[in-house]
Amino acid sequence: MKQKSGKTVHAFALEGHIDADRIRSNTFEIEWPPRSGKMQSFPEVDRAQWFGLAEARQRIQPGQLPILDELDEKVGGV
């Protein structure tokens, strides 16, 4: 989905048991501090957590609510 800001958000769902504490992020490099000439690595994702649909609706960015609506429609409120 494309947000108003122009960012593209990719979402996926799966059925299974995945330990959120074991999820590890890839990293990206950026010049930091800006204009310092120093490159530093940062994680793309700082942590992973699982939420029920009701709590996810409270935590998600408002523009991303259609993702949860589609998920709810496809899995029937599971």
The per-residue pLDDT for range 10-54, each reduced to its tens digit, is 888 888 888 999 999 999 999 999 999 999 999 998 889 888 889
Rounded (5°) CA angle 51-53-55: 60
pLDDT score, position 73: 92
Number of domains the chain is built from: 1
* Residue 78 pLDDT > 60: no
Please give the structure tokens belonging to residue 37: 């000439």
In the beta sheet, which residues pair with residue 41?
Answer: 29
| Contact assessment for residue 23 and residue 48, using Cβ atoms and an 8 Å cutoff | yes
Extended beta strands in the chain, E state: 27-31, 39-43
Residue 14 falls within a domain, yes or no?
Answer: no
- Which residue range is the domain that position 45 belongs to? 20-75
Residue 6 falls within a domain, yes or no?
Answer: no
5 pLDDT tier (thresholds 50, 70, 90): confident
What is the identity of the amino acid at 16? G
